Each structure stands twice: as C-alpha cells, then as structure tokens.
C-alpha cells in the first residue's frame, strides 16, 4: 500500500515524509484519528515506506538523528519510489520480517493465551479487504461474537522479544499497534522498550480515543493527528473506487461526517429510497393523525438497525442543508435538486432553533439505535417529540 493510495490527508502525509527526509522522526508515534479517518491505512503505508528505505549513500544521520554507516544504495526520494525497492513486495503483502503488527485478539479456547501472530492470516485479509474497517468488523472476522478483544500480557512479552532481535533485512524494525486502547495495565511492560528502544526501532500506535490509552504510554509518543476526511475526499474515493452515480457519492459524502467506513456502509444501501421514506415520515409527523404516525413508524422499524441509523443521518443532513439555505441562500447550497426542494420546505416550516432542536433529538435517537433500543417505541417517541417542536414553534429542552 502506497501513501498515495490512502484517501486525502495530504497535509499529514507531507508532514510524515518531511520527518523522514529531515531525520527528525520520533521512536514512538501515535496516529490519532476517529473511525473511518484512514489512520490505520496511513500508518501501514508509512510503516511500509520506512521499512523499504535503503541505507543512505553516504555517512549521515539516520531517521532518528543518530549517525549511521556507509552504503552505496541510492536514496528513496518520495514514498512512491519504494515500489522499486526489493523489499516492497514483502512489505506490501505484510510479510516483511522487520514489519510487525499488534492488535486486539481473543482466546479461541478456554485457558489459551493468544497473540497477534496467531491471527496474521486473518489480519492480512482484513487490511487488504477492509483497510477502513473498525474494531467491531475485525472482531467479527476472527469469530469473537460476544467476546471482548484484548492486547494481552503475552502479546507484550512477544513484542519485547521480537524488537530485541536485530533486524533481518531492513535498516529499521517497525511495530504497528492498532487500537492501543485495548491494552490493560500489562501495557506498562512496554514502557522501557518505548522509552529506551533498540537502535533503529519505530513504534507506530494507531488509536481512536486518546483518553482510553494508558497515560504512561501516551506521554512517550509523538502525536500525529489524523483529521476526519473532507467531503470532497470521500466523494472522490467513492467515485473512483465504486460503481456509483456522482449524485449518490456526493449525498453519502455529506452524510457520513468524514467517516469513510460509514460511507462504505451507506454505499451498500445507496439504492434505498431515503427521500420518499423521509417525506412520508415528515408528513405523518406534521399531521395530527396517530394512525399515520404508527404506519410510518412500522415501516422505519422494519428497516433494521443499520438502515435506521442511515435514515437518521440523512434526516440530519437535510436539516443541515436547510439551515445553509437560510444562512447562505439557495444558490450557494450545492445539493441535488430533489434534496434542495425538501430543504427549502423545511426552511419555511421551521425556524433555525427548531431545526437545531430536531437535530438534537435525532442525535439522541441515533445513540439509542446503537444500543439496540426497541425500534417502535423509540421512533414513535421521536416522531411525537418532533411534532411537538414543530407545532409549538419553540425550542424544547428535553431531559
């Protein structure tokens, strides 16, 4: 995987390349980015870039600012140049002997003490097929079902053993640890190794939630912030890599809030008629007829959890577009015409404060959908709350 194959994030990529070219790389990096930002594929492509670097042609500093030996091999000038290096094929297939991985695993049998090396076949498939996948996707792939994934004490011991050895082929040994949030107190075993690493050793931690990382490890890492992807970056990714209409790609890119994993989930249901479902829902919400509300709620309840989340996201997206119409004017809102029609109607129907109140209720509903709330009760309650907001023309404060 080359860095150019990772969606967007041009500023972060440039920063990483400059750290390498200027020999100011830290021994421990923390790639911190929310789900779907591309932190994992970025970290892997960067690790492959570093592990494929040949020794410098003259005596100079290594990436960490230490003096290194002479060599006649040419330097790699850009991350894309590593495709011409002998090590690239192994690195690309994640079988390079100096490129190591650590990630949450489960025990397949009672009393078993698993490590990441027991799941490397599944890991390579996961990275190849779902580089933007989340930890839930990974645990389901290895058959976790309801089991909790962990990075165990045995895994920490294995990391210490592997990184204490000399490198086999590369100038550098690299460990990519995905989801260090799954390290318990046993993670303290790694402190000395991270603080005083063997020569030419690089740790790359890839995390989503900074607050869930052991503070002693967090304090020893240089932070690399990976921002959510921009709408145009996701739109381009969907258009370039999938059979999808430009209109659908734009709509999904607007709805997924910078999360490419969520965008791919939405893509599976891109043909669903969210607009007509939303129109029916809004009409039933505005009316006093309880029977019509119940009928629409039955339809929404039958969609299933994932589609319910997407319907909520689509409703929020339309409400946000209607607010933009109000603030910037219709001509400056880049939406398909059929979406803009709904946004214009909502702009006439509700004030900005009312729309913000509805968005707040929708976000609460999305939270409860994630936690498997009863669909009928949840969406009937939500419909009544939205009706009340629209009817009373006031901002509700609901506990």
Q: Residue with structure tokens 């789900």?
A: 35
pLDDT tens digits, one per residue of 333-375: 555 666 778 888 888 888 888 889 999 999 999 889 888 889 8
pLDDT digits (tens, 9 = 90+) for 6-16: 999 999 999 99
Q: How many residues does the chain have?
A: 399
Query: Angle 305-328/274-286 helices, nearest 10 degrees?
Result: 80
Angle at 389 between CA 387 and CA 394, to 5 degrees: 155
d(CA 297, CA 383): 8
pLDDT at 39: 96
Question: Is the Cα torsion angle 374, 268, 251, 294 positive or negative in sign?
Answer: negative
CB atoms within 10 A of CB 214: 18
The answer to which of 58-67, 217-226, 348-357 has the lowest mean pLDDT is: 58-67
Question: What is the token pair recorded at 162?
Answer: 């592997």
Sorting pLDDT into bands at 50, 70 and 90, what band is 124?
Answer: very high
Burial of 204 per CB tally in 10 Å (0-12, 13-18, 19+)? buried
100 close to 160: Cβ distance less than 8 angstroms: no
Classify 397 as helix, strand or coil.
coil
For 151-203, what is each residue's pLDDT tens digit? 989 999 999 999 988 888 888 999 999 999 998 888 888 998 898 888 889 99
**Strand 222-225 relative to strand 28-32, pairing:** parallel
Is residue 272 within 8 Å of residue 309, measured between CB atoms?
A: no
User: The pTM is what?
Assistant: 0.75
pLDDT > 70: percent of the chain: 89
pLDDT band with cut points at 50, 70 and 90 for residue 129: very high
The mean predicted confidence, pLDDT, of the chain is 85
303: left (phi over 0), alpha (psi -120 to 50) or beta: alpha
Strand 99-102 relative to strand 222-225: parallel, antiparallel, unpaired? unpaired
Contact by Cβ (8 Å): 82, 88: yes
User: Which residue segments constitute the domains of the chain, with CATH numbers given?
Assistant: 3-227 (3.40.50.300), 272-392 (1.20.272)
């Amino acid at each position: 995987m080359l860095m150019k194959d990772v969606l967007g994030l041009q500023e972060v990529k440039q920063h990483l390349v400059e750290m390498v070219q200027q020999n100011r790389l830290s021994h421990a990096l923390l790639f911190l980015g929310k789900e779907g930002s591309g932190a994992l594929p970025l970290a892997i492509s960067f690790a492959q870039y570093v592990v494929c670097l040949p020794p410098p042609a003259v005596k100079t500093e290594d990436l960490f600012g230490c003096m290194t030996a002479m060599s006649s091999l040419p330097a790699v000038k850009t991350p894309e140049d590593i495709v011409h290096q002998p090590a690239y094929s192994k690195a690309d297939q994640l079988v390079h002997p100096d490129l190591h991985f650590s990630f949450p695993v489960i025990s397949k049998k009672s009393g078993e003490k698993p490590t990441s090396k027991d799941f490397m076949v599944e890991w390579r498939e996961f990275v190849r097929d779902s580089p933007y996948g989340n930890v839930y996707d990974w645990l389901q792939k290895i058959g976790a079902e309801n089991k909790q994934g962990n990075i165990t004490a045995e895994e920490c011991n294995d990391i210490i053993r592997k990184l204490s050895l000399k490198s086999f082929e590369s100038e550098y040994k690299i460990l990519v640890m995905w989801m260090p949030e799954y390290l318990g107190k046993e993670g303290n075993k790694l402190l000395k190794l991270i603080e005083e690493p063997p020569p030419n050793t690089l740790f790359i931690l890839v995390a989503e939630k900074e607050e869930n990382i052991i503070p002693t490890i967090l304090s020893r890492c240089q932070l690399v912030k990976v921002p959510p992807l921009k709408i145009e970056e996701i739109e381009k990714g969907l258009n370039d890599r999938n059979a999808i209409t430009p209109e659908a790609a734009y709509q999904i890119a607007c709805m997924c809030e910078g999360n490419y994993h969520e965008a791919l989930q939405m893509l599976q249901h891109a043909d669903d008629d969210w607009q007509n479902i939303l129109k029916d829902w809004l009409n039933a919400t505005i009316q006093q007829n309880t029977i019509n509300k119940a009928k629409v709620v039955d339809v929404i309840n039958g969609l299933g959890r994932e589609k319910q989340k997407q319907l909520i996201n689509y409703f929020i997206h339309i409400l946000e577009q209607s607010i933009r119409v109000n603030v910037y004017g219709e001509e400056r809102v880049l939406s398909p015409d059929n979406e803009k029609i709904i946004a214009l109607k909502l702009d006439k129907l509700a004030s900005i404060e009312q729309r913000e109140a509805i968005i707040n209720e929708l976000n609460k509903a999305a939270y409860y959908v994630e936690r498997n709330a009863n669909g009928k009760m949840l969406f009937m309650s939500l419909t009544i709350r939205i009706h009340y907001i629209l009817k009373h023309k006031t901002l509700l404060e609901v506990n």
